[in-house]
Structure 1
Amino acid sequence: MLNKNEFALNLLEWYHNNKRDLPWRRTNDPYKIWLSEVMLQQTQVQTVIPYYNKFTTKYPTLDDLANAEEQDILKDWEGLGYYNRIRNLHLAVKEVQSSYDSIVPNEPEPFLALKGVGPYIGGAVQSIAFNHRIAAVDGNVLRVMARLNVDDRDISKQSTVRSVKLFVETIIPLESGDFNQALMELGATVCTPRIPKCVTCPVQSHCESFKSNSVLLYPKSTKSKKKTELYFNVFLILNNKDEIYMFKNDKNLLKGMYKFPKYDIDTSIDTIEEALNLKLSQLKEPIAEEKHVFTHQVWYMNVYLLYTNSESQHFVKISEVNEYPISVAMQKVFKHLH
């Protein structure tokens, strides 16, 4: 049986002496803590740091972010991926501005009702910023808890995540924010997936899988599905004014980002001309091939260079393309124009 008080004491002592010096740990501002947690979802710490610094410099207050144009925010987020995160945060801070006088709610219920705020973000922000005793369960915490308790349940199931959250909330001490961060820090730096540093683990004496020499058997998870492979032709269409055809994506995960025309490889050029209302030059061999990997998909892209004399509102100066928010996949395509 886990000695809850001793476990918390050991973990917090280790955390206070060994925690990484990260920029969002130097602030008590709920808005900046919230921003960092949104950025850290499914993204490594070292990747997030420059984006966090850029955003907190350009949008130092919640009002600054709320009042900003979506296109500017998406441009600043460019390359960080999972663009729904920043769109949802933008909508949420606007609601905080209008409904809560620009003050982040310091109670869980109204905060959890905001756009894009799920159990993890809710637990993290409410515990770190306001010290509510709510768990913040991410992949690191699930791994630590599975090994600690030799838990055979599938961590990819929401029922397991909910159960682990309830368990953590039975052991969470008054220093809830530090405790949640300590659990995540332990998973990120010590209780790692493939080469855990059990010898230096501060809670080794509490770990059932360490005692039974079965650490690498946990956590249990169903194998992730194979990524869907998709094949596209992407068209760089130029006119005689040093302009390129580019338009805003109005759906899916890349909503709000700009893109070049992209079609399944079996789409005829006649269909493309009709869809774009352009008369295009003859299709020749692709000038390049590119691959881009998303979480659940892999895009294989043939890049074509075409010309037109047709007019369209979607042409922009080639020299100004980089002023628009463009996904990394489209950046890979555009580089072949140079």
Structure 2
Amino acid sequence: MPDSFSHTSASMPLRDPFGREITYLRLSVTDRCDLRCRYCMAEHMTFLPKPEVLTLEEMLSLSRAFMERGVRRIRLTGGEPLVRKNILWLIEQLGEEVKRGNLDEITLTTNGTQLAHMAQKLAQFGLRRVNVSLDTLDPQKFATITRRDRLEDVLNGIKAARDAGIRVKINTVALKGNNEAELPDILDWCISEDLDLTLIETMPLGEVADARENHYLPLTAVLPRLETRWKLTPSDHRTGGPARYYTIVETGRKLGLITPLTGNFCDGCNRVRVTCTGRIYMCLGQDDHVDLRAALRSDNPQANLHSALDRAIGAKPKGHDFAMAEGRMVGQVNRHMSHTGG
């Protein structure tokens, strides 16, 4: 495999029908996870057979094709990306692309359980930022939400990542009747630990045990409660993702809100998601996709892959269909978040 991609006639930027340039790839490296968060997946999941999942070498080739077309940021997701065997090899290769100037950064979304023993290598290979999913600081509640008793592993992982020089941001899904009352305390903890926090509304992705409406908490109801403790001012800070940020005036730290149901953020969408099977989803809230694996495994992967990317981006919709209507979530898609990539 060559050390870097070569510029070809196919190196035109990826631009969708609405003039948005695609510069951000969220690449799922596995559908497997060592937690079973109730809002994300069923307790007894059927995971994909190995032949359907892209090899790490195929994921690197795919990433380089996206780089050639103008993608500057790649976020590795899952499932839990750090349970993928030999994932450090892929991170090292992408880190080399950052050194060469072909990428601005590689980032990672993780549940944090594997960070304690991997953080040093991640930092060594060029990872500078991670998002850690953490919905509660209460051990019993953590075990209830994730169906696993591993809060201590996550907290140790966060410390290890920071000790290694990796910047950590906390992602928390707001869950009515579960962590709702704890959200101000989670923000207080993040502030005390010099961590930024992003709150996320739950989304209608895949069938889970409980009706999603039972735990849906609009962030429009959360923000006023946080403002009783802290002065929050809107910020123009952006990281390439969908979050809209506030500055916590007293500390200078950031609070992000991802609001697919109460505040559509699609107008500036610059990203696509690719699953571990090579399906590109042009929108998290749509089922339309294009099969990139077939192109990667064809007799002319370079040409067929760029052709498939053109078809995919040409079909990118203006926005998702997620909404609340008469107390019910609409726009549900059939696949779980763990299949799509967070």
In the superposition, the TM-score normalised over structure 1's length comes to 0.27
Structure with a larger share of its residues in helix: 1
Indicate the structure whose relative CO is greater, using CA pairs within 8 Å and at least 6 residues apart. Answer: 2
In terms of fraction of residues, the more strand-rich structure is 2
